[in-house]
Structure 1
Amino acid sequence: MTIAQPMALHPAPAPTPTDDALPRRLADFATLGEALDYAAAGTRGLNFHDARGVLTRAYPYAELRRDALAMARRLIATGIAPADRVALVAETGAEFAALFFGAVYAGAWPVPLPLPTSFGGRDTYIEQLRVQLTSCDPKMILYPPEIGELAGAAAQAAGIAGVDWAAFAVGAAPDAALPQAAAGDIAYLQYSSGSTRFPHGVAITHAALLNNLAAHSHGMDIRAGDRCVSWLPWYHDMGLVGCFLSPVANQVSTDYLKTEDFARRPLAWLDLISRNEGTTLSYSPTFGYDICARRISSQTRAGDRFDLSRWRVAGNGADMIRPDVMQSFVDAFADAGFQASAFLPSYGLAEATLAVSIMPPGEGIRVELVAETDLSGGEDRKDRPQRFRAIVNCGKPARDMTIQIREEDGTPLPERAIGKVWCSGPSVMAGYFRDQAATDACMVGGWLDTGDMGYLSDGYIYIVGRAKDMIIVNGRNHWPQDIEWAVEQLPGFKQGDIAAFAITTPGGEETPAVLVQCRSSDEGERVRLREEIRERVRSVTGMNCVIELIPPRTLPRTSSGKLSRAKARNLYLSGDIKPYDLAA
């Protein structure tokens, strides 16, 4: 009788090591390709995990380089030439990583584009991709086979080639001479913070990128034994630059959860930090810390499940940092060894490649109370009690970066005076792709108008809000024009009837408010319209907004007749714009 042998189990992949014998270089390379060439000489790399944090693929930098060179030859075989754009749907995984660096090696400009979200639906995503494809004018878009129908429809609508990257990866890769990149060449285009209807592609050179990546490593004091964990999306500047390109250029092994897996099981992030011995670095917007603090049961001892004692850099960025959330996280996870001093606030934007300021490690969250009247530019009212808001210190200028606070007319302001934040340094963008007018509107003499408001104190920068109209909720950027446009599509409303802006709730959370001029005098009809507007905005943006109906001819205008969102916000908060009193 033959006895059946047990089936051999596939051994679990071993993660790439935290340390190896390759001497670490802190992003002191001329180009991104040169940075990967060096990292590939060691054994560190990228590690991809499933929704439960189980390692599914270890991807050493040597393997990434080999695959990227093959992808570069495939791209050249399809006719891709230097400075051509190659759009890539930015799914966290080895395929995107190889294609991104393949485009770089081929001299093309990779353009990371977003994955579908859980809101908005099929048509909204197709239109978003179509608009961004039209803006960056790529030769092709490559995407995961799982979204082939959506991405293919967007490609067809934009009149470009759409290719499933699984099919592309098995295509011929004939030998080809690879172009030699120069430091001043464009490395990639970044779409991260702009209107989905009027997007701006930020052009970043190799020199700007490597300068900023070196600033990360020096600012965070990267050292032996450091390892990174990230769930941030690779189409956003903090995920792409801070948690994908920076680990390559600074030779740091990194462990990844997909963003959608974090959204479903946020505590898997902390499980991964706990389980991977040596994890010391991880970044998140405020909402990531918030959702974890909310998810941990008050009956559960965090120390029974997590070990966060090695986490020395818990970065904060991508939205306004809320000190109450940070305190809640400390309260929830101190039992697991988390140290409040690990918090490392920072400030940045895609137009500066990423980092503008970084808190020195170990200083944690530092807060100042600022009068609301100072923040809004208003005057003290004797008939109302003074209100204060806690403003978080966002650190010192990143290496080689200079920050100034200026008046509207460009006049520099002294310490502790609130004004517009300007920055200058080698990592500031080359400009917006094919949009010289937009570039000229924010760049003057090598200085970048960030569009944010803040003040300097003892060498530290405090960000108090945005001068431009962008609304940031849960780390996602939304332009008010997109919200207003969504409402304008409803019957009975037109451009100029709607003003969208951000407000701060009593709990310190930022939320969008939408003022809509309503001509109906029937209260029942007003209630119906408010709900219709709320649902319309939610379907387009995924956000729940404060919707207020106001009388006609209420919204303020500039001298040229344009809507003044800033003035509308101030009048609303002061009570001078009075919405209709509607039933809840």
Structure 2
Amino acid sequence: MNDTINLVPHGTHKPVSTPNEDVLPRRFADFATFTEALDYAATGARGFNFHDARGTLARVYPFSELREDAIKVAHALIARGIKPNDRVALIAETGPDFAALFCGAVYAGAWPVPLPLPTSFGGKDNYIEQLAVQLDSSDPVLLVGPDEIAAMIEAAAARQGCAHAGWADFAAKDAPVVELPARSPDDICYLQYSSGSTRFPHGVAVTHRSLLSNLASHSHGMEVEPADRCISWLPWYHDMGLVGCFLSLIANQVSGDYMKTEDFARRPLAWLDMISRNQGTSISYSPTFGYDICARRISSQSAVTDRFDLSRWRLAGNGADMIRPDVMQNFVNAFAAAGFKAASFLPSYGLAEATLAVTIMPPGEGIRVELVEEERLSGAPRDLSRPARYRAIVNCGKPVRDMEVVIRGEDGTLQGDHKIGKVWCRGVSVMHSYFRDPEATAACLVDGWLDTGDMGYMAKGYLFIVGRAKDMIIINGKNHWPQDIEWAVEQLPGFNHGDIAAFSVETENGEEAPAVLVHCRVSDPEARVALRDQIRDKVRSITGMNCVVELVPPKSLPRTSSGKLSRAKAKKLYLSGEIEPFKLAA
């Protein structure tokens, strides 16, 4: 593949970004297959733009060049013996190599399987183990990844018994030009591994029809405008990054600016710099923690007004995790002086099993919350001896076009407005199946309806998400959301979102009790004991429960592939002794 920058005006060495607007008439994902969508996008001037760690434009990659490279990759894959419906596992590094390989695999009739990059957590052996589990599930013919991690790719591929290659193996290599296989709307387009800890590692099989339906529906829900541009740091192995900020841009002909996820982690404010430089209107998504880290990094209001211009940030999407209204308000407080508008927030709800989007807030309505008594959330009768406690539940918007959403009780009956139950959805973009797992597929797909595994309620056509059913902590017959316990600890000074994992454990007398693992950054033994007692008292004051508090080393709590806390894995590692708490005095 060509690594040179093509769009360079005469007399300068600075790359010129692909435009926001184009003479090519925009089509909102109304194509039969994804390859047809790329064929059309390639006739225009828009495309991808990749930025370095400081947010400086480094590589311009118009859709026309992407298609040209993807066709070459398709021929190269076929020359290597790749056949229709074979799986090709790809380490999803943000950049032109992965983009061309993903699209090339689709052109070749194979199913690309995006897999995560190594993180700073866990080390080499854990990463190889993670890859091996996903490779065992997807059974690919080939694993391809960055040359920098060739040794880990080779080790994971050897465990699975599949071939492996690096990006360089597909660069500047001529392969015989052959006729590419025809694809139909109901063919599988790719496999997506859901980041949810309760169903990992099931591969979600997404058809061309499902993909394009969802891409058309969410662009309709966001009311995409001619001058819109997407700015993203989200990883391409997660559904919000892959579908919402990569595939959607092709199918809806939107230019995009990218920085790598690891660069965002080091320099989060470079994300806002990129948004500030966009002269059109910006669409940019992030989970809650992205907004949180940016608000924490700002030192003064003068630094905000001198550096940023967020007045053209039209849609500030929020999803992929529970939306925290307090964090979002802190972001508004920090960046209103730079022109950021609270009405730009766009809460949404989705999951890989529905391709991506299920509900989206109508643009301009911002974040709306309802205060709900905790007893209602837990299903317990009102305890009149204690003052009522409330939790702010965020409105996640209305179902996207061609998607139905209902709430069902434990017995499957439909629930009315403000009645909490299991969230079910049905639509064209609901997944085909879990790959080679009919039992898991049958467990969550019933007569075309998808059991999302999440709890929520409807109110006047809007969906409110209150938590995950399988994360529920049940003590003495009463349900408790782990988020409530985690939020209680986060209110203490010195803790960040993601520092706490709450779940239930069995005590020595056989009873269930809540346990809380907390990242501890203090070294003095007496200070640790005081901190543990403070956490225990705080949780008791908010939930009325006594809990097991374990202080653990920083960065020891596990994450899913998209960076979210994995409570299920934290519990497993804690019970197996792989997470070793600090020893404290009684």
TM, length-normalised to structure 2 = 0.83
**Structure 1 399/531 Cα, relative in aligned 2: closer, same or farther at 3 Å?**
closer
In structure 1, the residue matched to 2:487 is: 505
In structure 1, the residue matched to 2:476 is: none
Q: Over residues 229-256 of structure 1, what are the superposed CA-to-partner deviations in whole Å (9 max), with x where a residue is unaligned?
A: 0000000000000000001100000000
- Report how far residue 380 of structure 1 moved: 1.1
**Structure 1 207/342 Cα, relative in aligned 2: closer, same or farther at 3 Å?**
same
Distance 1:583 1:297 in 2: 38
Q: Over residues 61-101 of structure 1, what are the superposed CA-to-partner deviations in whole Å (9 max), with x where a residue is unaligned?
A: 00000000000000000011110000000000000000000
What SS does the corresponding residue of 1:300 show, helix, strand or coil?
A: helix
Of the three residues 28, 36, 39, the one matched with 1:37 is 39
**Structure 1 313/543 Cα, relative in aligned 2: closer, same or farther at 3 Å?**
closer
Of the three residues 100, 115, 121, the one matched with 1:119 is 121
- Report how far residue 36 of structure 1 moved: 0.4
Distance 1:183 1:470 in 2: 39
Distance 1:246 1:544 in 2: 26
In structure 2, the residue matched to 1:256 is: 258
- Report how far residue 543 of structure 1 moved: 8.9
User: Which structure 2 residues correspond to residues 95-106 of structure 1 after superposition, within 5 A?
Assistant: 95-106=97-108
- Report how far residue 514 of structure 1 moved: 4.5
In structure 1, the residue matched to 2:470 is: 468
Of the structure 1 ranges 373-382 and 204-213, higher mean CA displacement relative to structure 2 is found in 373-382
In structure 2, the residue matched to 1:415 is: 417
Of the three residues 534, 551, 569, the one matched with 2:552 is 534
User: Which structure 2 residues correspond to residues 393-412 of structure 1 after superposition, within 5 A?
Assistant: 393-412=395-414
Contact 1:131–1:196 (Cα < 8 Å) also in 2: no
Of the structure 1 ranges 536-545 and 362-371, higher mean CA displacement relative to structure 2 is found in 536-545
In structure 2, the residue matched to 1:317 is: 319
Distance 1:536 1:517 in 2: 25
Q: CA RMSD in A?
A: 2.9
- Report how far residue 450 of structure 1 moved: 0.4
**Structure 1 424/299 Cα, relative in aligned 2: closer, same or farther at 3 Å?**
closer
The answer to whether the aligner puts 1:173 opposite 2:175 as a matched pair is: yes
In structure 1, the residue matched to 2:75 is: 73
The answer to whether the aligner puts 1:53 opposite 2:55 as a matched pair is: yes
Distance 1:251 1:119 in 2: 36
What SS does the corresponding residue of 1:59 show, helix, strand or coil?
A: strand
Distance 1:378 1:515 in 2: 18
The residue type equivalent to 1:432 in the other structure is Y
The residue type equivalent to 2:556 in the other structure is R
Contact 1:500–1:515 (Cα < 8 Å) also in 2: no
Distance 1:82 1:69 in 2: 15
Distance 1:539 1:444 in 2: 35
Distance 2:411 2:565 in 1: 36
Distance 2:223 2:231 in 1: 17
In structure 2, the residue matched to 1:26 is: 28
Of the three residues 431, 447, 455, the one matched with 1:453 is 455
Q: Over residues 5-42 of structure 1, what are the superposed CA-to-partner deviations in whole Å (9 max), with x where a residue is unaligned?
A: xxx99701111111110000011111100000000000
**Structure 1 382/197 Cα, relative in aligned 2: closer, same or farther at 3 Å?**
closer
What SS does the corresponding residue of 1:315 show, helix, strand or coil?
A: strand
User: Which structure 2 residues correspond to residues 329-340 of structure 1 after superposition, within 5 A?
Assistant: 329-340=331-342
In structure 1, the residue matched to 2:242 is: 240
User: Which structure 2 residues correspond to residues 258-297 of structure 1 after superposition, within 5 A?
Assistant: 258-297=260-299
Distance 1:316 1:545 in 2: 19
What SS does the corresponding residue of 1:390 show, helix, strand or coil?
A: strand
Distance 1:539 1:360 in 2: 35
**Structure 1 196/71 Cα, relative in aligned 2: closer, same or farther at 3 Å?**
farther
The residue type equivalent to 1:327 in the other structure is Q
**Structure 1 223/406 Cα, relative in aligned 2: closer, same or farther at 3 Å?**
same
- Report how far residue 517 of structure 1 moved: 4.8
What SS does the corresponding residue of 2:552 show, helix, strand or coil?
A: helix
Contact 1:514–1:545 (Cα < 8 Å) also in 2: no
Distance 1:219 1:297 in 2: 36
The residue type equivalent to 1:505 in the other structure is W
Q: Over residues 189-208 of structure 1, what are the superposed CA-to-partner deviations in whole Å (9 max), with x where a residue is unaligned?
A: 00132449951000000000
The answer to whether the aligner puts 1:223 opposite 2:219 as a matched pair is: no
What SS does the corresponding residue of 1:413 show, helix, strand or coil?
A: coil
* 4+ long deviations beyond 3 Å: 194-198, 499-504, 507-511, 514-520, 530-537, 539-547, 581-584
In structure 2, the residue matched to 1:88 is: 90
- Report how far residue 168 of structure 1 moved: 2.5
What SS does the corresponding residue of 2:471 show, helix, strand or coil?
A: coil
**Structure 1 196/426 Cα, relative in aligned 2: closer, same or farther at 3 Å?**
closer
What SS does the corresponding residue of 1:468 show, helix, strand or coil?
A: helix
Contact 2:558–2:565 (Cα < 8 Å) also in 1: no
- Report how far residue 469 of structure 1 moved: 3.1
Distance 2:549 2:120 in 1: 21
In structure 2, the residue matched to 1:576 is: none
Contact 2:472–2:481 (Cα < 8 Å) also in 1: no
Distance 1:212 1:377 in 2: 34
The residue type equivalent to 1:296 in the other structure is I
Gaps of 5+ in 1: 1-7, 472-498, 556-580
The residue type equivalent to 1:341 in the other structure is A
Contact 2:471–2:567 (Cα < 8 Å) also in 1: no
Contact 2:50–2:59 (Cα < 8 Å) also in 1: yes
In structure 2, the residue matched to 1:480 is: none
Distance 2:567 2:452 in 1: 27
Of the three residues 340, 355, 359, the one matched with 2:357 is 355
Of the three residues 365, 368, 371, the one matched with 2:370 is 368
Contact 1:194–1:200 (Cα < 8 Å) also in 2: no
Contact 2:298–2:304 (Cα < 8 Å) also in 1: yes
**Structure 1 532/171 Cα, relative in aligned 2: closer, same or farther at 3 Å?**
farther
Distance 2:118 2:289 in 1: 20
Distance 2:146 2:243 in 1: 21
Distance 2:303 2:57 in 1: 26
User: Which structure 2 residues correspond to residues 573-584 of structure 1 after superposition, within 5 A?
Assistant: 583=585
In structure 2, the residue matched to 1:443 is: 445
The answer to whether the aligner puts 1:204 opposite 2:185 as a matched pair is: no
Distance 1:117 1:173 in 2: 34
The residue type equivalent to 2:501 in the other structure is P
What SS does the corresponding residue of 1:280 show, helix, strand or coil?
A: strand
Contact 1:537–1:545 (Cα < 8 Å) also in 2: no
Distance 1:85 1:424 in 2: 27
Contact 2:445–2:451 (Cα < 8 Å) also in 1: yes
**Structure 1 135/194 Cα, relative in aligned 2: closer, same or farther at 3 Å?**
farther
Contact 1:71–1:103 (Cα < 8 Å) also in 2: yes
Q: Over residues 127-159 of structure 1, what are the superposed CA-to-partner deviations in whole Å (9 max), with x where a residue is unaligned?
A: 000010010000000000011111111111111
**Structure 1 10/128 Cα, relative in aligned 2: closer, same or farther at 3 Å?**
farther
The residue type equivalent to 1:445 in the other structure is D
- Report how far residue 314 of structure 1 moved: 0.4
Q: Over residues 374-426 of structure 1, what are the superposed CA-to-partner deviations in whole Å (9 max), with x where a residue is unaligned?
A: 11111111221111000000000000000000011211111110100000000
Of the structure 1 ranges 58-67 and 402-411, higher mean CA displacement relative to structure 2 is found in 402-411
